[in-house]
């Protein structure tokens, strides 16, 4: 069975600073990887996903994540954050074979200070 | 395009009472999911439907939880009787089809407090 560990429960940063939210996963088979974001008082929405091909994937609002198979990681980064990026971020994994269900990490609360 | 709808948004009940949550997925989405999100944790899948059939209910506490999707569109999740540890946000999601590549679209959730 797969599992996901988000190493930081809270990350406070100043506006325009860079940020990295860490995610490690465990699985005995190949996986797809996702980052979901939950803005205050809203539902979860997909930020970006890795299915195949280039290990670096990008979102439309400047976030990027890199799949590192040897380190079983999928860290999320942004070079310069905005107040509007304040949200909870969830890393998730699903296996290509077997159960194929989405398994989430515990979440990282990103707080942007002016 | 309308998103996933859920009701009610909030519910407060006493332990041993029953409660039901409703979900209407995005039109045309064959796969529907119910998740439980306890405070401080990520969402955990309770049950997955493909049209009106159950694909995975391995983590559904079947002694107290039940779910149905009779016509393959909207769905109801019921808890009877509720326990204190059922306090959580219940999320409904839908996707065009099943499969691990599919993007899931989430509703706003129902926040349940059991006293």
Over the stretch B59-96, which tens digit does the pLDDT of each residue have?
999 999 999 998 889 999 999 999 999 999 999 999 99
CB A57 within 8 A of CB A65: yes
Give the per-residue pLDDT at A42: 86
What is d(CA A4, CA B69) in angstroms, rounded to the nearest whole number? 30
Which residue on chain B is closest to A50 by alpha carbon? B101
What is d(CA B80, CA B66) in angstroms, rounded to the nearest whole number? 8
User: How many angstroms away from the CA of A43 is the closest CA of chain B?
Assistant: 4
Contact A44 B101 (CB under 8 A): no
What is d(CA A38, CA B108) in angstroms, rounded to the nearest whole number? 10
Over the stretch A79-111, which tens digit does the pLDDT of each residue have?
999 999 999 999 999 988 766 789 999 999 999
Q: Which two tokens stand for residue B89?
A: 């946000």
Which residue on chain B is closest to A103 by alpha carbon? B44
- Mean pLDDT of the region B13-25: 97
**Of residues B45, B105, B107, nearest to A101 (C-beta):** B45
Tell which B residues from 43 to 62 touch A, by Cβ distance under 8 Å.
Answer: 43-45, 48, 56
Average pLDDT value for chain B: 94
Average pLDDT value for chain A: 92
Q: Which two tokens stand for residue B13?
A: 């009940």
Q: Which two tokens stand for residue A57?
A: 């994937």
Contact A101 B42 (CB under 8 A): no
Q: Which residues of A touch B96 (CB under 8 A)?
A: none
**Beta carbons within 8 Å of A58's beta carbon, 6+ residues apart:** A48, A64
Candidates B15, B55, B8, B35; CA nearest to B106 is: B35
CB B93 within 8 A of CB B106: yes
């Amino acid at each position: 069975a797969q599992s996901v560990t988000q190493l930081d429960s809270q990350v406070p940063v100043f506006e325009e600073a860079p940020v990295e939210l860490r995610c490690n996963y465990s699985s005995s088979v190949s996986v797809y990887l996702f980052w979901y974001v939950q803005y205050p008082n809203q539902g979860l929405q997909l930020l970006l996903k890795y299915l195949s091909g280039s290990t670096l994937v990008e979102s439309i609002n400047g976030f990027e994540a890199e799949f590192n198979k040897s380190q079983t990681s999928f860290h999320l980064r942004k070079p310069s954050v905005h107040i509007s990026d304040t949200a909870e971020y969830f890393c998730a994994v699903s296996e290509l074979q077997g159960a194929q269900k989405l398994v989430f990490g515990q979440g990282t609360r990103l707080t942007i200070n002016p | 395009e309308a998103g996933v709808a859920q009701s009610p948004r909030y519910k407060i009940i006493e332990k041993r009472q029953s409660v039901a949550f409703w979900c209407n997925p995005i039109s045309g989405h064959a796969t529907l999911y119910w998740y439980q999100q306890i405070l401080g944790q990520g969402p955990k899948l309770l049950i997955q439907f493909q049209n009106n059939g159950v694909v995975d209910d391995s983590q559904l506490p079947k002694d107290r939880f039940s779910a149905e999707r009779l016509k393959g569109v909207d769905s109801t999740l019921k808890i009877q009787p509720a326990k204190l540890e059922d306090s959580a946000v219940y999320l409904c999601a839908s996707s065009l089809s099943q499969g691990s590549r599919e993007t899931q679209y989430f509703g706003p959730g129902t926040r349940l407090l059991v006293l």
